[in-house]
Structure formats: structure tokens, C-alpha cells
Amino acid sequence: MGETRHTRVLIIGSGPAGYTAAVYASRAMLNPILVQGMQPGGQLTITTEVENWPGDTHVQGPDLMVRMEAHASAMGAEVITDIITDLDLSTRPFVAQSDSGTVFTADAVILATGAQAKWLGIPSEEKFKGFGVSACATCDGFFYRGREIVVIGGGNTAVEEALFLTNFASTVTLIHRRDTLRAEKIMQDRLFKHPKIRMLWNHEVTEVVGTEAPLGVTGVRARNVITGAEHIVPCEGFFVAIGHAPASELVKDQLPLHHGGYVQVEPGSTRTAIPGVFAAGDLTDHVYRQAVTSAGMGCMAALDAERWLAGH
């Protein structure tokens, strides 16, 4: 049996939302505890160049997250390397069980467990992640100005990403394993009319191919799911747009979720359906999914928590 620790504010997650909440909660003298989870620093630790974090024209994702952690600690947050395995929001104080055996009790909880892009799961995709393979057109489209891009997927996200990428690319090939898209009809019309977009129906991607030094993508191997025939589609950017999975496992039976698992918050706030429980970042956001929007919501969550605690 591990120790029991009480805190006024427990922050779960160490991405931009969690660390920003920790900075604000610390400066409000709430002595927050932040539990980092299995990916200290969050999603930005698996990317390279970030060019849209205000104040930095270029920053490496992992470096930015090291600085955010240092900032949160310097303001007084206690940053703990552990994973919350169980969270009970039905009692007061709230109770969180950690992987190491520590039990955290908290007057208020800020959920900032983020989301993960869904990937194809092929080894070559992993190898080229951040070097031509991406799951975020808003983040990485700018790097492929005048280049050929391939997008894979068939839902709204894939169509939105493909259309957005036409702002940069010379051509965008959208590969889908069926012969119709799931995306809304109005989006499909825009897609089919676009002169830079080419559809490759009934195909799946079996391999990302590229160079070793420097590491970079030169194409994807596409397999016809009907005939089995394979060919290489040349591209320098390969965008996987097959959806996102919000990390809402801890609260899925305790809080209302929507849009496929995102925690629902009151519009314009970070308040969830349980008073004293706040949610921020990609965990609640199926629309923007950016570091800066997550940080903004982290700030909101700390301010919402501070006001809620002041009233209780």
C-alpha cells in the first residue's frame, strides 16, 4: 500500500494543457500536483520542428515541452512521474490511484490527458514520423510547399486535411480503401472539384518508402484492395488522417462524452458535468487540436478551478 497525498488541485497530464494549468494554479497559490503519465510532455515530444508556437519561429517539440515542465516547476507545481490508473469522481475529495501505489486525494481535478492520432501501424510509418509522415496538416502542411502530398483516410478529417493541404502542395492524392467517402457531401463536392486533388480509390498504403540520409519520404506503396496490384505513389509528405482517440478512459463512465469520446465541457469554459472537475486540451477538443489552444484551455481550467475552490 503506497502513501496518500492530498492536494487542492490535481492535474492529470503533462502536455501544453497540463503544464499551463500548473503554471496558473501555482501562481494562484494552489500548490498543484501534476502527474505526467506515460508520455511526459505529451504529443509534442514525438515531433520535430514546431513553427506555430507564438514567440518561437522554430522550436523542437521536445525542447518546448522541457521548458514548459521547467516553467511549471519553477512556479511551484509538484511534477510527478507516474500514471493515474483509476479516478473516482463520485466521492469528495476526489480520489486518484496511481500506478506506483500512491493515492492522490484532491479538492479539484483538471483532466488534461490529451488525445492520440490514430496511425496505420506499419513499421515504415513509425520510422518516418516527423520526417515526412505526419498526422496534422495544420501543424506540418507548411513544410511541403510546392511538393507532392498523399493523404490517407475517408472521413471528414481526411477531406478537410486534403483541402487544407492544397494551399501548399503541388498535388494532393487522397487514398481511400473504399470507392466512396464517409465525409459530408458538401465537403466531397469541394474535394472533387479541386484541380490539385486526385483520388485513388480502393487502395491501402502498405509501406512508406524514402531515403536514409537524410531521412525523408519519397513515396508510398499503394495496394489495390480488389486486385492486389501494388504501385508507388510519389510524395514527400504523407498525412495519416484516419481519426483521433481522446484519452478519456479514466472518466468514460463518469462524465458525458461526445464526438467519439471527447469529454464534454460547458461551452466557453472547462467545467465538466461534475462540479470541481475541469477538462482542457485535446481531451475536450475535436476541432482545433493545437498546442496553443490546449495551453489556452489549460489556463482556463486553472482559473475555473481557482474560482470554484474559492466558492467552496
Ligand X SMILES: Cc1cc2nc3c(=O)[nH]c(=O)nc-3n(C[C@H](O)[C@H](O)[C@H](O)COP(=O)(O)OP(=O)(O)OC[C@H]3O[C@@H](n4cnc5c(N)ncnc54)[C@H](O)[C@@H]3O)c2cc1C
Q: Judged by CB under 6 A, which of 290, 299, 300, 302 binds ligand X?
A: 290
Residue 294's SS3 state is: helix
Question: At closest approach, how far in Å is the CB of 115 from ligand X?
Answer: 6
Q: Judged by CB under 6 A, which of 262, 294, 299, 300 binds ligand X?
A: 294
Are 143 and 50 within 8 A, CB to CB? no
Question: At closest approach, how far in Å is the CB of 119 from ligand X?
Answer: 9
Which stretch, 1-9, 147-155, 209-217, 279-287, contacts ligand X (CB under 6 A)? 279-287
Amino acid at 180: T
Residue 56 or 179 having the CB closest to ligand X: 56
Max distance between CA atoms of the chain, in angstroms, equals: 66
* Bridging pattern class, strands 257-258 and 133-134: unpaired
Residue 283's SS3 state is: helix
- What whole-number distance in Å separates Cα of residue 232 and Cα of residue 205? 9
Distances (CA, A) of 32 to 9, 116, 222, 308: 5, 25, 49, 15
Which positions from 134 to 173 touch ligand X by CB under 6 A, shown as an x/- string?
-xx--x----------------------------------
Which positions from 215 to 254 touch ligand X by CB under 6 A, shown as an x/- string?
--------------------------------x--x----
Question: At closest approach, how far in Å is the CB of 198 from ligand X?
Answer: 25
* 117 near ligand X (CB under 6 A): yes
Which positions from 9 to 48 touch ligand X by CB under 6 A, shown as an x/- string?
---xxxxxxx----------------xxxxxx-xxx-xx-
Tell me the site size for ligand X, rule CB under 6 A.
40
| H or E element, residue 115 | strand 115-117
Q: Is 299 in the active site?
A: no
Are 136 and 115 within 8 A, CB to CB? no
Catalytic residue among 139, 282, 285, 299: 139
Residue 247's SS3 state is: coil
Question: At closest approach, how far in Å is the CB of 1 from ligand X?
Answer: 20
User: Which residue in 215, 10, 201, 212 sits closest to 111, CA to CA?
Assistant: 10
Give the number of other CB atoms < 10 A from CB of residue 125: 20
Catalytic residue among 140, 282, 285, 304: 140
- What sign results for the dihedral spanned by CA atoms 249, 253, 257, 261? positive
Give the residues lining the site for ligand X (CB under 6 A): 12-18, 35-40, 42-44, 46-47, 50, 52, 83-84, 112-115, 117, 135-136, 139, 247, 250, 281-283, 289-292, 294
**Active site residue ranges:** 136, 139-140
